[in-house]
Chains A and B, each alone.
Chain A
Amino acid sequence: MKAEVNGVELFFDVDGAKVRAGAEETRTVPTVVLVHTGPGLDHVPYKDHIGAALVDVAQVVYLDLRGCGRSDRSDPEHWNLDTWAEDLRALMDEIAVERPIVLGHGWGCYAAIHYAQRWPDHPERLVLANPSARVVPPRIVARFDELGGAEAGEAAYEYFQNPSDGSVAEFLRRCFSLLVPAGMSEVMLTPLWNLELAVHWAGGESRTVDLRPGLADIRAPTLVVCGTDDAFTPAASVREVVDGLPRVAGFREYPGARHTLFRESRQAVADVLEFVAA
């Protein structure tokens, strides 16, 4: 489905009913809005693990952020956190999702956090999976070096220094397989990936974004889950998020899990389910 929001058409999909007819009584389950990682990827990779599991306890709304997946591409001028957060809020208004649980993953945490700062009373709760409040290239480069060797570290360094079509290709070749389980690279490197957006982000807002000061404004109880071996989410950066949030409902780390935390850790999926169902 698509909804017209802030002048663009956003693709969204829904799984699981909101109102459920039980044998005795009708009950309403929470709505979880899933904000995908990236930059430039789409919602699809969540459907066969965390999304499918959440349907047991919630209605799941997937969306492709502007510029991503099946949503309108829009233009680079609008590829920024203000716009993504506004789109997120506007989509929920358009389809009348009130007080959602917003689940951000990886890069999607920036938009989720930014939205929760701007509208502290809108989300009922937050789940942040592998979150950062800012991009600290030295930390990330060091992790790629540690986890993938000097060539991976160098490709990451080059990409952060000088984001371009050439350096992003080299970065994906050397580094992407370190972020996901074996065999997943081919699946996730889809033709829908908007690499122009990825390069735009890496050369622009990723260098200035710092959501740490606004974390204190977030009122929603937040569960933070994180894989310890996600080069994109160094432990010090996750710690900055946890330390800045006023209402941390839980902080759990999953040893060995990489960026695709929910694909790798059943425990992480179970912990999110428990939080959502509580």
Chain B
Amino acid sequence: MRVQVGDVKLFVDFDGAKLRPQGPWLDERPTVLVVHTGPGVDHLPYKNHLGPTLATVAQVLYVDLRGHGRSDPGAPGDWNVDTWTADLVALLELLDVERPVVVGAGWGAFTAIRLAALHPRLPSKLVLANPNARFVAARSVAAFDELGNAEAGEAAFNFFSDPTDQTLGPYLQLSFPFVMGAAAMDALVRPDWNFPLALEWSRGEMRTIDLRGDLGAITAPTFVVAGDCDPQYPRASIEEVVDGLNDVRVEWFPGARHSVWRDAPASLGLIRDFVAEL
């Protein structure tokens, strides 16, 4: 399905019904909005692990953010966290989805955090996977060096210093495997990666974004699942998010990289229980 939101059509997909007959009773399940990581990739990877797990207790609403996957590209000038946030708020309003649980994964956590801070009453709960409130190049480069190797650190340094077609290639080849492991290769061969968007964001908003000031405005109970081996979203930056949140519980998964649930499947049950608990 695609839904008109402002000047673009956004692709949405679902897993699990909202209303479910249980014998003579009718259960109403919460809606979980999954905000995918990126920049430039789509919602699909969540259908392999997180989505089906959550569909047992909730209706899962997947969306491709503007510029991603099967949604309209929109204009490069609108490829920013404020626009993605406004798109999601409008989408939820249009579909009459009330008080969803919002899941922000990795890069998607920027938008999830901004949404929860601007509209504290909108999400009933928040789940953040490896969230950062800002991008600290020095930390990430050091983590690529430490968790990967010198070449990974160097390629990351070159890309972060000057994101271009020329530096993106070596970054994806040498650094990115330490973010995703084998799954990185699956992601890389996918034809629908929007590289221009990834470059645009890395050149622009990535350098200035700082949502630490947003965290205090968030009132939704928040569950942070954290891997300590994701060089793109380093431990110290995840800790900044946890420290800034009011109502937060954090679970660290030693050795887990960017895709926490892939590396630590035990996280799936914990997220499911957090979504289901009243």
CB within 8 Å of B: which residues of A? 1-4, 9, 13-21, 26, 31, 44-45, 47-48, 51, 59, 62, 94-97, 186-187
Contact = CB atoms under 8 A, between A and B. Distances in A.
Contacts of B13: 17-19, 59
Contacts of B44: 19, 21, 26
Interface of B: 1-4, 9, 13-21, 24, 26, 44-45, 47-48, 51, 59, 62, 70, 94-97
B269 to A, nearest CB: 21
Contact of A9 (B2, B62, B70, B96): B96
B47 A20 contact: yes
Nearest to B19: A13
A1 B96 contact: yes
A14 B3 contact: no
B14 A95 contact: no
Given A1-B96, A2-B96, A17-B62, A47 B47 contact: no
Q: Which 4 A-B pairs give the minimum distances between C-beta atoms?
A: A2-B96, A96-B2, A14-B14, A15-B17
Contacts of B24: 186-187
Contacts of B20: 47
A21 B17 contact: no
B94 A16 contact: no
A55 to B, nearest CB: 9
A16 B52 CA distance: 10
Given A44-B19, A45-B21, A62-B17, 15 more contacts: A3-B95, A13-B19, A14-B14, A14-B59, A17-B51, A18-B1, A18-B14, A19-B44, A20-B47, A21-B47, A44-B26, A47-B17, A48-B21, A94-B4, A96-B2
B14 A21 contact: no
A95 B1 contact: yes
Contacts of B95: 1-3
A31 B51 CA distance: 19
A47 B4 CA distance: 28
B95 to A, nearest CB: 4
A17 B94 CA distance: 20
Contacts of A3: 94-96
A48 B21 CA distance: 7
Contacts of A16: 14-15
Nearest to B48: A21
A31 B14 CA distance: 12
Contacts of B45: 21
A95 B63 CA distance: 13
B244 to A, nearest CB: 33
Contact of B18 (A13, A18, A26, A45): A13
B70 A15 contact: no
Contacts of B2: 95-96
A19 B70 contact: yes
B167 to A, nearest CB: 29
Given A16-B15, A95-B3, A47 B21 contact: yes
A44 B17 CA distance: 10
A186 B23 CA distance: 11
B17 A14 contact: yes
A156 to B, nearest CB: 27
A219 to B, nearest CB: 24
Contacts of B26: 44
Among A44, A45, A51, the most chain B Cβ lie within 10 Å of the Cβ of A44
A96 to B, nearest CB: 4
A21 B43 CA distance: 10
Contacts of A14: 1, 14, 17, 59
A31 B1 CA distance: 9
A213 B15 CA distance: 40
A175 to B, nearest CB: 22
A2 to B, nearest CB: 4
B4 to A, nearest CB: 8
Nearest to B18: A13
B255 to A, nearest CB: 24
Contacts of B18: 1, 13
A44 B15 contact: no
11 contacts: A1-B95, A2-B95, A13-B19, A14-B14, A14-B59, A17-B51, A18-B14, A19-B13, A21-B44, A95-B2, A96-B9
Contacts of B94: 3-4
Contacts of A95: 1-3
A51 B17 CA distance: 10
Contacts of A96: 1-3, 9
A181 to B, nearest CB: 14
Contacts of B97: 1
B185 to A, nearest CB: 14
A19 B70 CA distance: 10
B62 to A, nearest CB: 7
B186 to A, nearest CB: 10
Contacts of B21: 44-45, 47-48
A158 B19 CA distance: 36
Among B17, B24, B62, the most chain A Cβ lie within 10 Å of the Cβ of B17
